[in-house]
């Protein structure tokens, strides 16, 4: 990108600088809100007429991600384009990138879309990850190394929030799981003894400048992020530094432009291994809206527009609770409104609902961030909020 796209400026055609986003979910919504705060016009491409991002953007192009007319409209309206989820077709980003600055680029997104390519990239970047094998054929299935079992069989593409994954104890279970997943390309990862889950969010500019958020400690339930604590309470300074260095190495070797999240496992012996990465802002970074002087979405805007990157600062300790659609139903399955008045009476409570039309179990409806001057207070208040909402303690 040769010149910064300055907020409130106009392009050569006399129209205001407009930032586009592929995808209309909650991540797109929060990107749009951050861009609008800085004075940008925004446009969203998403086929859903009720998309959360489309509801708040200046323009909503209702089209599929490979729709030629929709992509042409997005290019016409946008000065630069980003994406809000990793499963946007890389081919669409390649098409857009031929005409407009696109961040992250199609090549980087393509790596993140394929678990085998992702793991090969970790290895090439000097970042440790779990031993794995690619399974695309019956012959590869039959020759899997014994030391990879027990393991987790994962679809090579399109898996998220625990979907497309099956735990397997032996070869018979592995064969059955591959059949269950439709014999699509998969990777088998060795199951490792986990102690903790961490994530690191970095932002990298086109000139190579890198900044990062604090290391985040995460708790997942049923494969979906449930709780994020910042600063990570059970992590040494040495391990924090290692996680940040690994995430930066991944971004640098991808020549990445944008916001990137790398998820890590800490094993019971203290070893750090990379799990996966997401070429976008991440659920575990939502606390940054309320606890940092710049959010992950602010940095997404900056990297896309070619603005200077300043290191974000954590001004409050934070605990984030993910709010799934289950909270909108009682034990008998009757729909209800969660007790927001009681929750918002707690000190440091910040409620974010995503504007989704209908709640259903497992659907991400919003998040609640508790901020405080110290980690112990943030956790104590977050536990009160969890109790009010009927969420398990952590």
Q: Which CATH number does the domain housing residue 159 bear?
A: 3.30.1490.20
Residue 210 has pLDDT above 80, yes or no: yes
Q: Is pLDDT larger for residue 222 or for residue 295?
A: 295
Is 189 annotated for ligand binding?
yes
Residue 159 has pLDDT above 70, yes or no: no
If you write DSSP's letter for every residue of 71-88 in order, what string do you get?
Answer: HHHHHHH-SEEEESSTTS
User: Is 325 in the same domain as 384?
Assistant: yes
Mean pLDDT of the region 231-246: 97
Tell me, what's the pLDDT at 88?
Answer: 86
User: Is 53 in the same domain as 175?
Assistant: no
User: Is 74 in the same domain as 205?
Assistant: no
User: Is 177 in the same domain as 214?
Assistant: no
Residue 163 lies in a domain: yes
User: Is 168 in the same domain as 57?
Assistant: no
Residue 51 has pLDDT above 70, yes or no: yes
Is 147 annotated for ligand binding?
no
Residue 161 has pLDDT above 80, yes or no: no
Mean pLDDT of the region 35-40: 97
User: Is 259 in the same domain as 278?
Assistant: yes
Is 298 annotated for ligand binding?
no
Q: State pLDDT tens for residues 246-260.
A: 999 999 999 999 999
How many helices (H) and strands (E) would you count in the chain? 13, 17
User: Is 151 in the same domain as 270?
Assistant: no
Tell me, what's the pLDDT at 147?
Answer: 96
Q: What is the band of 361 on the pLDDT scale with cuts at 50, 70, 90?
A: very high
- Residue 292: DSSP 8-state: B
Q: What is the band of 89 on the pLDDT scale with cuts at 50, 70, 90?
A: confident
Residue 163 has pLDDT above 90, yes or no: no
Mean pLDDT of the region 274-293: 97
Number of domains in the chain: 3
Q: Is pLDDT larger for residue 135 or for residue 159?
A: 135
Q: State pLDDT tens for residues 313-351.
A: 999 999 999 999 999 999 899 999 999 999 999 999 999
Residue 10 lies in a domain: no
Tell me, what's the pLDDT at 90?
Answer: 82
User: Is 268 in the same domain as 331?
Assistant: yes
Residue 213 has pLDDT above 90, yes or no: yes
Pairing of strands 80-83, 18-22: parallel
Residue 1 has pLDDT above 60, yes or no: no
User: Is 23 in the same domain as 75?
Assistant: yes
Is 356 annotated for ligand binding?
no
Residue 232 has pLDDT above 70, yes or no: yes
Q: Which CATH number does the domain housing residue 379 bear?
A: 3.30.470.20
Total Cβ atoms within 10 A of residue 233: 14
Is 163 annotated for ligand binding?
yes
Is 20 annotated for ligand binding?
no
User: Is 284 in the same domain as 364?
Assistant: yes
Is 283 annotated for ligand binding?
no
Residue 126 lies in a domain: no
Is 59 annotated for ligand binding?
no
d(CA 236, CA 218): 15
**Residue 27: which domain range?**
18-102
Residue 80 lies in a domain: yes
pLDDT mean across residues, the chain: 95
Listed in order, strand segments (DSSP E) in the chain are 18-22, 41-45, 59-61, 80-83, 132-135, 151-155, 165-168, 186-190, 194-204, 210-212, 216-221, 224-230, 258-267, 272-278, 317-324, 349-353, 364-372
Q: What is the band of 160 on the pLDDT scale with cuts at 50, 70, 90?
A: low
Residue 352 has pLDDT above 90, yes or no: yes
Tell me, what's the pLDDT at 3?
Answer: 86
Tell me, what's the pLDDT at 2?
Answer: 63
Percent of the chain's residues with pLDDT above 90: 92
Mean pLDDT of the region 106-130: 96
Residue 48 lies in a domain: yes
Is 119 annotated for ligand binding?
no
Q: State pLDDT tens for residues 55-85.
A: 999 999 999 999 999 999 999 999 999 999 8
Pairing of strands 41-45, 18-22: parallel
Tell me, what's the pLDDT at 12?
Answer: 80
Mean pLDDT of the region 278-298: 98
Q: Are 258 and 303 in contact (CB under 8 A)?
A: yes
Tell me, what's the pLDDT at 85?
Answer: 87
Is 160 annotated for ligand binding?
yes
Is 115 annotated for ligand binding?
yes
d(CA 40, CA 260): 22
User: Is 157 in the same domain as 67?
Assistant: no
Is 190 annotated for ligand binding?
yes
């Amino acid at each position: 990108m040769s010149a910064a796209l300055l907020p409130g400026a106009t392009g050569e055609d006399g129209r205001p600088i407009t930032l586009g986003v592929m995808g209309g979910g909650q991540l797109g919504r929060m990107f749009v809100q951050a861009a609008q705060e800085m004075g940008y016009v925004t446009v969203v491409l998403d086929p859903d007429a009720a998309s959360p991002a489309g509801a708040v953007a200046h323009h909503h192009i209702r089209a599929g991600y490979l729709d030629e007319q929709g992509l042409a409209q997005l290019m016409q309206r946008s000065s630069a384009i980003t994406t809000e989820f990793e499963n946007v077709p890389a081919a669409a980003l390649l098409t857009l990138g031929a005409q407009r600055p696109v961040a992250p680029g199609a090549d980087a997104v393509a790596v993140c879309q394929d678990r085998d390519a992702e793991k090969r990239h970790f290895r090439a970047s000097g970042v440790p990850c779990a031993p794995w094998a690619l399974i695309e054929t019956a012959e590869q299935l039959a020759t899997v190394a014994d030391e990879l079992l027990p393991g987790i069989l994962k679809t090579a593409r399109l898996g998220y929030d625990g979907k497309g994954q099956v735990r397997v104890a032996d070869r018979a279970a592995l064969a059955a799981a591959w059949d269950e997943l439709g014999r699509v390309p998969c990777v088998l990862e060795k199951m490792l003894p986990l102690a903790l889950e961490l994530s690191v969010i970095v932002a990298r500019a086109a000139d190579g400048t890198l900044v990062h958020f604090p290391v985040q400690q995460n708790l997942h339930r049923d494969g979906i992020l449930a709780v994020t604590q910042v600063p990570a309470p059970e992590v040494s300074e040495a391990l924090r530094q290692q996680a940040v260095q690994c995430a930066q190495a991944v971004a640098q070797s991808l020549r990445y432009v944008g916001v990137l999240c790398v998820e890590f496992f800490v094993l019971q012996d203290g070893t750090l291994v990379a799990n996966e990465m997401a070429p976008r802002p991440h659920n575990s970074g939502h606390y940054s809206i309320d606890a940092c002087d710049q959010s992950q979405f602010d940095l997404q805007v900056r990297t896309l527009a070619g603005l200077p990157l300043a290191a974000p600062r954590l001004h409050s300790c934070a605990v984030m609770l993910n709010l799934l659609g289950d909270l909108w139903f009682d034990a008998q399955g009757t729909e209800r409104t969660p007790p927001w008045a009681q929750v918002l009476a707690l000190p440091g409570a910040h409620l974010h609902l995503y504007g989704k039309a209908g709640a259903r179990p497992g659907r991400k409806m919003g998040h609640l961030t508790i901020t405080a001057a110290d980690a112990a207070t943030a956790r104590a208040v977050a536990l009160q909020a969890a109790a009010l909402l009927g969420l398990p303690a952590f």
